[in-house]
Amino acid sequence: MKKMLKFVVILMICVFANGCATAPKGFLKLPDNYLEKRQLEMRIYDTKDENKIISAVAGVLQDLSFTLDESETELGLVGASKKADASNAGQKTLAFLADIASAMSGTSSNNLGNCDDVQLVKAAVITKPTLKKNKTAVRVTFQRVVWNVNKQISKVETLNDPEIYKKFFDSLSKAIFLEANEI
């Protein structure tokens, strides 16, 4: 009888805890490293001509084979996205070997189905005048969603690889130069 009571109490606690499941907190707190992130994602160009910069941005996104989804030139926003291959030969080989191993041991597994397959990369570029209004700041942020071979979402993340940002800004500098010289 006592055991039964204990069980009921635990069950009740479980039910209550379930009802209390709320959204996580603190996700809108400014992270400590936000100034570092600004440095990574932002460059300042020595021109007041925001329109020139924003059309160069659109050009660079096209160079990187993004399609433009959204733009509001008054605010200096360009949103773009791109689908790309996300498969990784190393990951696939390992998964294939693991599948063979489990087949040999008589169990079924589908590691290959969990391998990354396709990714959608989203980019948002913002241009705005600096505080002194004599230069233009450009800031870009990238996110990606990765689907596995079974078409399930396997990963969602903000891209923080400095290489990606460096490549973007290198292309932008080049595009500004090209457009200034009408090439």
Partner 1 sequence: MKKLKGSYLICFILLLVLCGCATSGNKAFQTNESQVALRSMQTRAFDSTDKKLMMQTVISTLQDLDFVVEKADLILGSVTGAKYLGNAVVAMTVTVRPRGEKQLLVRTNAQIGITSVEDPETYQDFFTALGKSLFLTAHNVD
Binding site for partner 1 (CB under 8 A): 22-31, 34, 37-38, 41, 69-70, 72, 74-77, 79, 122-124, 126, 128, 139, 141-143, 153, 156-158
Alpha carbon 7 to its chain's center: 45
If you search the block for the tokens 């204990």, which residue do you land on? Answer: 6
The least CB distance from residue 133 to partner 1, in Å, is 11
CB-CB neighbours of 83 under 10 Å:
14
Tell me which long-range contacts 18-27 makes (C-beta under 8 A, separation of at least 24): none
Residue (92 or 128) nearer to partner 1, CB: 128
Residue (17 or 30) nearer to partner 1, CB: 30
Residue (156 or 178) nearer to partner 1, CB: 156
Q: Which helix (H) or strand (E) holds 76?
A: none
Q: Which two tokens stand for residue 163?
A: 């290489």
| Residues forming a β-bridge with 136 | 45, 129
Q: Which two tokens stand for residue 32?
A: 């400590």
The least CB distance from residue 155 to partner 1, in Å, is 9
Residue (1 or 35) nearer to partner 1, CB: 35
The least CB distance from residue 174 to partner 1, in Å, is 24
The least CB distance from residue 32 to partner 1, in Å, is 11
